[in-house]
């Protein structure tokens, strides 16, 4: 059964936790209802006992009755009735007292403590979520500033290039640089024409009316600051927020604070008496209306009366804005002497480069801070969810105990009420705390734990300085590998350290043990820099933490390993069995579905499944372990695009993982064959949507020029291959061996699969000696680089040697064509294919020609 930790997550964190706390608050209401029943029953028992006790004094006040006859039998019966009334009165008062002592008093104290615990958890999580959201907004602004600086710098570079191309229009040596000044003026004019405040964009005339009304309506006065003096035209933050809510249609205080923050950012307001530029709804936060606001609104500014002062106004400061020099930060920022000394002889282009670099550094720092806050928030949520689950379970058990104690106090005092007591005991026996907890989870779950990482977005699309949360293909391309380095490093490390564990049970439990999220985040912070890391870092942590790091990496991917785009197809596969209903037909459909994935996803999925199948085989794991392993890996492998109450109950991801583990060789060997035959052309000619984002313009132009240059060089150096691979040619020209390449095998080698040969092995082919493929791995060790194979002959040859090799290779290919026409496998091969107008056999040629497909191996990826 999933617990709170796996059930109340959402993209913004607050929504899922809001559902949970709403149900927990409902529980506190149920506690009060139980407490009300017990308290009122105690009061009723006490009132009833007191009324019974009043019967005897009332009868004694009547004179001339039974008191006159001492020995009559009726007198004795009357006295017996009075005695029973007294006993019944005492019994009911004992019941009332017992209910108070055993139920009302202890349960009320427990309820107060329970509500206090819930409130503390809610307050702590809300504070953390607010801090995370504030940092997320700050990161968005930093990103916008960084992109704007890069865009200005890029436009300036483009204009300089155009200026050098046209000598007639280029500026003379003794002239200034008019194009740069015009560029800056244009941006200033654009800023003057449109102002973004809140969610609205205003023109200058519209903003003029708004500022005029604000300056005329919002109370303004003087504000004295120690040492600095008295500020004029100051309004409190609460007065400004009150005006925004009343006249500008703001429905919430947070939105009004956003409008106030934008006024500060645009230079209409500034914080006085404190360092910083944060706007807040507070009567203790004071903001000065700057001269820019009065100038735009066309209202005369209230000046400070002339007085003697020993202050030294800064050069170029606006009169009346600050009695001395304002806050320390504004003073330093506006001190042009310091700026000129720090950057002497700085051209406009250098200034833009420096500003872009500074904005980039601030953006990176903001993203790092946001990532730290997110990790800390998720750790806190994990701890609080576990704590709240225990609290809710304790509450249900407490109510069960309260009902039992309540019924016991009544039954022990009045045996005649045993029938009522027996029914109460039966009611409390029907209470099942675990069942009620399961009911809450099944009906109110909001989502599983899938962290949403806010990554640093480089203007030039570089995936550097970060590993987690980056797109899988972008990460692999930056690593120049088919599988990201972090995946291969972790799997290799685990392979080498499984033998250090005691017994197969410990090796299997590496993937099942629950690792504290804080421990995993600690390791994540050590390796999340976008660079290859040493296994020594992993050695500082235990093996389950390293395995948990891989699962966290897969969970933090923007899209699951098996893309969410094929989730509906996978659902259809398992909801609607094939016509014959056999496993073979289902596997064939899965092969076709997985073939739609990117090669990086397929290779990474193959590497992971290869690791798990070897772990299962070598530790002789039973079906129960495979089921537990598949349950843990399911959200890492396949997730829906949007999680709903329907997808929460679906088991399609679990079934997919079970099929991948059970049919790994069949699925991935076929995927390899399909990619070899068809993916090359589809990858090179795949259509792309035309991007309207100009942030990639420079990179795309450089990529296009480089591609044209390579194409021209290739056309001069050698003939075009029938099915060229853009990366195969670069490797063919390389003179080095594959010593640093780490292969990720997609399945065991079979005679029907293609055998890749190096240039050194061609001689063996032509001489009739077959080239053996890599040996099948039968242990938990990842093969060393030496086991991949190296060229037996140098690549650099003379012209005659190259001609003889090519002729030998062509003879070998012709002979293999004739053999394939006679001995062909009808299942895994087709007799022949036509590529580029030429008839090509299905059996692959030697590696001298460019490969016609992309093999799922972790080779270096040249850009």
CATH code of 339's domain = 1.10.10.10
Q: Of the ranges 9-18, 176-185, 442-451, 539-548, which one carries the lowest mean pLDDT score?
A: 176-185
| DSSP string covering 639-656 | --SS--HHHHT--HHHHH
- Tens of pLDDT, residue by residue over 161-189, are 765 554 444 444 444 444 444 444 444 44
Please state the rounded mean pLDDT for residues 731-755. 38
- Of 255-269, 534-548, 675-689, least confident by mean pLDDT is 675-689
Q: In angstroms, rounded to a whole number, what is the distance separating the alpha carbons of residues 827 and 584?
A: 14
Query: Domain boundary residue among 641, 662, 683?
Result: 662
pLDDT band at 541 (very low <50, low <70, confident <90, very high): very high
Counting Cβ atoms within 10 Å, is residue 752 exposed (0-12), middle (13-18) or buried (19+)?
middle
Q: Which residues contact 222 (CB under 8 A, 6 or more apart)?
A: 230, 231, 232, 234
Please determine, for residue 71, whether its predicted confidence score (pLDDT) is greater than 90: no
490 Cβ contact partners less than 8 Å away, ≥ 6 residues apart: 538, 546, 547, 549, 550, 553
347, 227: one domain: yes
If asked whether residues 500 and 604 sit together in one domain, one would say: yes
The first and second tokens of residue 849, run together, are 């020609």
Cβ(323)–Cβ(308) under 8 Å?
no
The helix/strand count (H/E) of the chain reads as 32, 8
Whether residues 719 and 605 fall in one domain:
no
| pLDDT band (50, 70, 90) for residue 637 | very high
pLDDT in tens, 81-120: 888 788 888 888 888 999 999 999 999 999 999 999 999 9
Residues 542 and 601 in one domain: yes
- In this structure, is residue 72 part of a structural domain? no
Any bridge partners for residue 289, and if so which?
269
**pLDDT computed for residue 788 by the predictor:** 36
Residue 308, burial from CB neighbour count under 10 angstroms (0-12, 13-18, 19+) = exposed
Q: Residue 507's domain spans which residues?
A: 472-662
Using the predicted structure, report yes or no on whether residue 32 has a pLDDT greater than 90: yes
Residue 271 lies in a domain: yes
| Domain's final residue, options 364, 379, 401 | 364
∠ CA 346-350-354, nearest 5°, is: 110
Same domain, 638 and 729: no
As a whole number of angstroms, the distance between CA 498 and CA 777 comes to 16
- Judge whether 441 and 3 are in contact, CB under 8 Å: yes
More confident residue, 748 or 443: 443
Judge if 342 and 478 occupy the same domain. Answer: no
Do residues 217 and 353 both lie within one domain? yes
pLDDT band at 492 (very low <50, low <70, confident <90, very high): very high
Tokens of 534: 């040493």
Identify the CATH number of the domain in which residue 515 sits: 1.10.555.10
User: What are 447's strand-pairing partners?
Assistant: 8
pLDDT tens-place string over residues 764-782? 333 343 333 333 333 444 4
With beta carbons less than 8 A apart as the criterion, state whether 257 and 251 touch.
Answer: no
Does residue 126 fall inside a structural domain? no
- Tally the domains of the chain: 3
Q: Per-residue pLDDT for 674 more than 50? A: yes
Contacts of 488 by beta carbon, 8 Å cutoff, 6+ apart? 481, 607, 742, 744, 782, 858
Q: With beta carbons less than 8 A apart as the criterion, state whether 493 and 546 touch.
A: yes
Asked, for residue 39, whether it belongs to a domain, the answer is no
803 or 239, which is more confident: 239
Q: Are 411 and 102 in contact (CB under 8 A)?
A: no
pLDDT on residue 58: 87
| Closest CA relative to residue 848, chosen from 713, 728, 673, 677 | 728
Which tokens in the block code for residue 465? 């300085």
Q: In this structure, are 717 and 607 located in the same domain?
A: no
Domain-located, residue 578: yes
631 and 719 inside one domain: no
Q: How far is CA 354 from CA 157, 337, 340, 741, in A?
A: 14, 18, 14, 39
- For the chain, the straight-line distance linking the first and the last C-alpha, in angstroms and rounded, comes to 48
Determine the Cα–Cα distance for residues 358 and 367; give it in Å rounded to an integer.
14
Domain for residue 513, yes or no?
A: yes
Whether the predicted model's global pTM rises above the 0.85 cut:
no
DSSP label at 103? I
Residue 848 falls within a domain, yes or no? Answer: no
Say yes or no: 186 and 277 in one domain.
Answer: yes
Scanning 718-837, the segments in alpha helix (DSSP H) are: 728-733, 762-766, 799-822
pLDDT (0 to 100) of residue 808: 47
Position with higher pLDDT, 141 vs 331: 141
**Burial degree of 167 (CB within 10 A; 0-12, 13-18, 19+):** exposed
Q: Let me know whether 652 and 790 are in one domain.
A: no
Residue pair 467/456 in contact by the 8 Å Cβ criterion: no
Both 592 and 713 in one domain: the answer is no
The two three-digit tokens of residue 566, written as one number: 């094929």
User: Is residue 100 situated within a structural domain?
Assistant: no
């Amino acid at each position: 059964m999933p617990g709170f930790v796996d059930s109340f997550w959402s993209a913004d964190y607050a929504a899922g936790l809001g559902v949970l706390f709403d149900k927990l608050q409902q529980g506190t209401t149920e506690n009060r209802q139980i407490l009300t029943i017990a308290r009122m029953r105690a009061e009723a028992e006490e009132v009833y006992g007191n009324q019974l006790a009043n019967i005897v004094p009332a009868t004694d006040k009547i004179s001339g009755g039974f008191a006159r006859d001492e020995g009559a039998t009726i007198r004795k019966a009357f006295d017996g009735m009075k005695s029973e009334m007294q006993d019944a009165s005492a019994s009911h008062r004992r019941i009332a007292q017992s209910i108070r002592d055993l139920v009302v008093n202890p349960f009320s104290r427990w309820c107060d403590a329970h509500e206090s615990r819930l409130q503390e958890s809610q307050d702590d999580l809300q504070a953390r979520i607010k801090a995370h959201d504030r940092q997320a907004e700050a990161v968005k602004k930093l990103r916008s500033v960084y992109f704007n600086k890069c865009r200005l710098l890029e436009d300036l570079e483009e204009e300089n290039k155009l200026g050098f191309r046209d000598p007639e229009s280029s500026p003379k040596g003794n002239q200034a640089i008019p194009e740069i000044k015009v560029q800056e003026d244009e941006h200033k004019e654009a800023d003057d024409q449109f102002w973004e405040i809140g969610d609205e964009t205003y023109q200058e005339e519209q903003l003029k009316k708004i500022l005029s009304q604000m300056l005329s309506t919002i109370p303004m006065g003087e504000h004295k600051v120690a040492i600095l003096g008295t500020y004029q035209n100051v309004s409190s933050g609460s007065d400004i927020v009150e005006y925004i809510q009343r006249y500008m249609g703001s429905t919430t205080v947070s939105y009004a604070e956003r409008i106030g923050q934008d006024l500060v950012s645009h230079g209409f307001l500034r914080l006085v008496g404190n360092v910083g530029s944060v706007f807040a709804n507070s009567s203790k936060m004071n903001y000065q209306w700057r001269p820019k606001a009065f100038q735009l609104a066309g209202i005369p500014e209230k000046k400070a009366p002339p007085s003697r002062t020993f202050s030294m106004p800064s050069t170029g400061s606006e009169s009346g804005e600050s009695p001395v020099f304002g806050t320390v930060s504004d003073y330093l920022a506006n001190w042009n002497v310091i700026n000129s000394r720090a950057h002497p002889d700085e051209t406009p282009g250098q200034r833009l480069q420096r500003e872009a670099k500074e904005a980039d550094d601030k953006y990176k720092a903001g993203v790092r801070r946001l990532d730290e806050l997110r990790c800390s928030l998720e750790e806190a949520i994990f701890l609080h969810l576990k704590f709240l689950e225990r609290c809710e379970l304790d509450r249900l058990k407490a109510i069960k105990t309260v009902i039992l104690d309540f019924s016991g106090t009544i039954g022990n005092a009045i045996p005649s009420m045993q029938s009522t007591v027996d029914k109460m005991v039966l009611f409390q026996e029907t209470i099942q705390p675990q069942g009620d907890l399961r009911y809450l989870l099944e009906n109110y779950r909001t989502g599983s734990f899938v962290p949403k990482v806010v990554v640093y977005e480089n203007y030039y699309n570089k995936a550097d300085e970060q590993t987690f949360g980056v797109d899988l293909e972008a990460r692999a391309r930056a690593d120049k590998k088919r599988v990201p380095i972090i995946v291969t490093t972790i799997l290799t490390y685990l392979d080498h350290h499984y033998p250090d564990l005691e017994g197969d049970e410990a090796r299997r439990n590496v993937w099942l043990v629950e690792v504290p999220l804080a421990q995993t985040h600690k390791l994540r912070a050590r390796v999340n820099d976008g660079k290859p890391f040493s296994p020594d870092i992993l050695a500082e942590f235990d093996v389950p933490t390293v395995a948990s790091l891989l699962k966290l990496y897969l969970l933090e991917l923007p899209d699951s390993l098996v893309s969410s785009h094929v989730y509906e197809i996978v659902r259809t596969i398992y909801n609607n069995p094939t016509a014959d209903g056999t496993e073979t037909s289902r596997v064939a459909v899965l092969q076709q579905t997985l073939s739609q994935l990117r090669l990086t996803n397929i290779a990474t999925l193959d590497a992971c499944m290869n690791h798990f199948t070897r772990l299962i085989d070598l530790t002789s794991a039973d079906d129960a372990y495979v089921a537990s392993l598949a349950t843990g890996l399911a959200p890492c492998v396949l997730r829906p695009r949007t999680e709903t109450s329907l997808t929460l109950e679906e088991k399609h991801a679990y079934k997919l993982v079970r099929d991948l583990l059970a049919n790994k060789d069949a699925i991935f060997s076929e995927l390899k064959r399909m990619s070899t035959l068809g993916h090359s052309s589809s990858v090179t000619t795949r259509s792309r949507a035309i991007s309207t984002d100009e942030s990639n313009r420079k990179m795309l132009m450089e990529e296009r020029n480089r591609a044209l240059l390579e194409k021209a060089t290739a056309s001069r150096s050698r003939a075009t291959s029938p099915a060229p691979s853009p990366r195969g040619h670069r490797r063919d020209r390389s003179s080095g061996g594959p010593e640093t390449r780490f292969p990720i095998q997609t399945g065991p080698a079979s005679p029907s699969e293609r055998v890749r040969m190096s240039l050194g092995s061609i001689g063996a082919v032509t001489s009739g000696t077959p080239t053996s493929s890599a040996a099948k791995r039968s242990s938990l060790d990842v093969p060393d680089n030496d086991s991949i194979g190296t060229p037996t002959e140098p690549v650099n040859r003379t012209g005659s040697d190259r001609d003889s090799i090519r002729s030998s290779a062509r003879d070998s290919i012709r002979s293999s064509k004739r053999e394939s026409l006679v001995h062909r496998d009808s299942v895994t091969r087709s007799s022949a294919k036509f590529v580029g107008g030429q008839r090509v056999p299905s059996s692959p040629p030697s590696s001298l020609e460019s490969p016609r497909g992309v093999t799922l191996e972790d080779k270096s990826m040249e850009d």
